[in-house]
Structure 1
């Protein structure tokens, strides 16, 4: 059941009320990143997302750096607001709800009756222990899409184990493959276990929503961080199952494609991926040695893939081409002809003209704290564009609005629940 325009769909905090998911109500009981990022992507697409936090223990990323600050009362401490939290919780309404209380459980059930999706990222069994697991909530709303993100999934021998991103990188195989052969394995330098689970959760949620709209039947969407990481290991699984090989750290190299890695230049490093015969021939011409395209030792892709040939001829040649040129000069030489990219730090990325052209750094004005620049939405829809410029809520900021509109509570009942510590 989608909500009508005369309730809260037109009152997104700081955002615009439009988008492909306009009218879809999402209850977000998650915290940290994997769950909040999932519901944030749905909010960017126009869904009405209600972030539900425990009034005694809100999402602890509210204390994560970096922080926006503003002067507090004279003589008092400055006010702070986490930019980390803001980036993953934009475009959401804020509601607090103590699910350990009977009133809290009853109130969640009321909200579920008007919702389309609930997202949670607790350990499997936690919501059941609280009395508001999937089986209970689908009794309140058979159309409900219940998206559960966890470390190891809702089934299997590991299901109750606590997990973080690093747990998924470790048990999904990715950690063992990252780094350099002469050093211990290295974790991927971002929370890829959380982020990959987020993306699969969004895909699963949208697929389940479509099914619910057609049939009236909701379902459980079960996404595991471990599963998600395993699916990112490229050819590792089939290398093991077909050839019995256990891939190890490869540094910046590809398992077999060459040249396809990082190379030093005058002011840093570039990625060069001109490994096909077409790109190799173009590269030889662009760097002033067209005769090398017909050199019988390196004139085909298969020959350049041979490790000894690659090390002795190809890598040496690329180092010669690149060493006295800057990243910008190299990008200008190859232009649109060959895959060559400057390896940029995040400061260079934020100021990159392509990033600007794609609206991937957005400015959001927080009235008390000033401007926050954060990443935008990579999803570009021509007819129903995403809306990444919304604000993140303060703890329980929109409780009155949400409870009036979706739970049909009056001011007296809301005040009573607040007095009891339920909200």
Structure 2
């Protein structure tokens, strides 16, 4: 799929002022933009520092000239870029003027930054009572509960560690925790915040009253790890690293094939009977030590050894043909496999976007949310630094003379090639 072919989404008309950086905040605003919201990325002079993060296509406009690499390009698609120096009085006043026209403000600064800029939620609400204000921090905002970690900086590995997900990830044989590959400590909170923002906007449209939406990265990871909470609550035993299996289901996890690994999930006795039937060993379903899920969990080492001895003699393709469509199964894919599998093209999950300065396309992940009437999706590439400064300010009510004065005093920045 090529960017631009997607129709407007369900949030068309919603105006979002995006003060976020790194991954968590931009991923949240990306989700809103994918569904049609007009997301105006407020960047500091010089632009968002994550523009420098690669990889970079050969010939593309470099970050020092206002361009961006793959990291920025992926999570800032569908957005407009407006450069404002919020530390200058004129920039502060300009932002308040924009807030009057906006529906949402989202930021992921450390606690207290917006207060020091005199742009707190309480101040912005005076300007626009229907404003929905979203905040995403490592340990939340004091308005919802002042954690002792409130002032601690946090990134993905920190929230993964303290939210519980690392404690149950890793090989059981040595108990060493393992970080989850993708930035789930950023992306999970981003999803929760996007949901909270959409919920608050629905209320604001009906009542005219906005509110403060607070999401903590660490809280979000714990919410994703909900199983460890009820397990410990019931047993007072902390679950440890689970390896590639499941503590409550068996067989449920990774099994070695001749040319890699497959993920096999057998959630109940019905699927177990189908599994052993497809394997040509239906008698396994009747053996006492394997007949029920509880007995399989109790004898998981023996069962998984038997199953692996059978799967390792067959390729991923052969196993897919045996189990596919009958038993929950998936071959373990790497990125090259994903690019080659037609499923992801058919589902518009691989989207080609323009990269200014080169004819090469940057392929980014599409949105997994598909709506019948307002499908949304990737409509346009990420913006260059300040690419939309003039057009955004005109649309939001400023005159050309006002914009010219702001440029002259270096309050805003506009690309000279526009």
TM-score by length of 2: 0.92
Question: Per the alignment, in what secondary structure is the counterpart of residue 231 of structure 1?
Answer: helix
Deviation at 1:71, TM superposition (A): 7.0
The equivalent residue for 1:70 is 59
Which residue pairs with 2:392 in the alignment?
Answer: 402
Q: What residue in structure 1 maps to residue 415 of structure 2?
A: none
> CA shift at 1:80, angstroms?
5.8
Instruction: Give the SS at the match of 2:201.
Output: helix
- Residues 260 and 316 in structure 2, CA contact (< 8 A), matched pair in contact too: yes
CA contact (8 A) 2:7 2:375 kept: no
Structure 1 residues 224 and 298: alpha-carbon distance in aligned structure 2, compared to 1, 3 A threshold: same
Which of these residues, 213, 225, 231, is aligned with residue 221 of structure 1? 213
Runs of 4+ aligned residues of structure 1 deviating over 4 Å after TM superposition are 13-17, 77-80
Q: Assess if the C-alpha contact under 8 Å between 1:240 and 1:246 holds in 2.
A: yes
- Aligned with 1:279: secondary structure? helix
**SS class of match (2:256):** strand
Query: 1:240: how far off?
Result: 1.9
How far, CA to CA, are the matches of 1:392 and 1:78 in structure 2? Answer: 15
On the 8 A contact 2:7/2:376 being kept in 1, the answer is: no
CA 1:345 to 1:41, structure 2 compared with 1: closer, same or farther past 3 Å? Answer: same
Once residues 294 and 225 of structure 2 are traced to their aligned partners in structure 1, the CA distance between those partners, rounded to angstroms, is 24
Gapped regions of structure 1 (runs ≥ 5): 1-12
1:44, distance to aligned residue in structure 2 (A)? 0.8
Name the structure 1 match of 2:408. 419
Tell me, in whole angstroms, the C-alpha distance in 1 between the residues paired with 2:41 and 2:292: 56
Checking the alignment, whether the CA contact within 8 Å between 1:261 and 1:271 is kept in structure 2 is yes
- Aligned equivalent of 1:8: none
Q: Distance in 2 between matches of 1:232 and 1:136?
A: 33
CA distance in 2, matches of 1:92, 1:78: 19
Following the alignment from structure 1 to structure 2, what is the Cα–Cα distance between the partners of residues 141 and 37?
25
1:310 maps to what in 2?
300
Contact 2:61-2:67 within 8 A present in 1 as well:
no
8 Å contact from structure 1 (residues 90, 391) kept in 2 = yes
Secondary structure class of the residue paired with 1:286: helix
SS at match of 2:363: strand
- Provide the residue aligned with 1:233 in structure 2: 225
Structure 1 residues 71, 300: closer, same or farther in 2, change over 3 A? closer
Aligned position for 2:293 = 301
Tell whether the 8 Å contact from 1:91 to 1:392 is kept in structure 2 after alignment. Answer: yes
The question of whether the paired residues in 2 share the 8 Å contact of 1:26 and 1:48 is answered with: yes
User: Cα offset for 1:292?
Assistant: 2.3
Counterpart-to-counterpart distance in 1, 2:197 and 2:226: 24
- Mapped to 2, the partners of 1:267 and 1:337 lie a distance apart of 22
CA distance in 2, matches of 1:166, 1:405: 40
Take 2:292 and 2:156, find their aligned partners in 1: how far apart are those partners? Answer: 41
Say whether residues 1:130 and 2:117 are aligned partners. Answer: yes
Match of 2:236 among 217, 239, 244: 244
Question: Which runs of 5 or more structure 2 residues have no equivalent in the other structure?
Answer: 413-418
Deviations 1:278-299 (A, max 9, x none): 1111111111112222223322
Residue 327 of structure 1, CA deviation: 0.5
Matches within 5 A, 1:20-419: 20-56=10-46, 58-70=47-59, 81-155=68-142, 156=146, 157-181=148-172, 182-306=174-298, 309-312=299-302, 314-369=303-358, 370-406=360-396, 408-419=397-408
Please report how far the alpha carbon of residue 176 of structure 1 lies from its aligned counterpart in structure 2 after TM superposition. Answer: 2.0
Q: CA deviation at 1:133?
A: 1.0
> 1:235 aligns to what SS in structure 2?
helix
User: SS at the partner of 1:186?
Assistant: coil
Q: What's the CA shift for 1:316?
A: 2.6
Question: Deviations 1:259-302 (Å, cap 9, x if unpaired)?
Answer: 11111110001111124211111111111112222223322222
The aligned length equals 403
Distance 1:173 1:180, change over 3 A: same
What secondary structure is seen at the aligned counterpart in 2 of 1:81? coil
1:185 CA displacement: 1.2
How much has 1:17 moved relative to structure 2?
A: 6.7
- Give SS of 2:224's match: coil
Q: CA deviation at 1:237?
A: 1.4
Change (3 A) 1:90 1:71: closer
Could you report, residue by residue, the CA deviation over 1:20-56 in whole angstroms, capped at 9, with x for unpaired residues?
1111100001111111111111111011110001114
Contact 1:69–1:81, Cα closer than 8 Å, also in 2: no
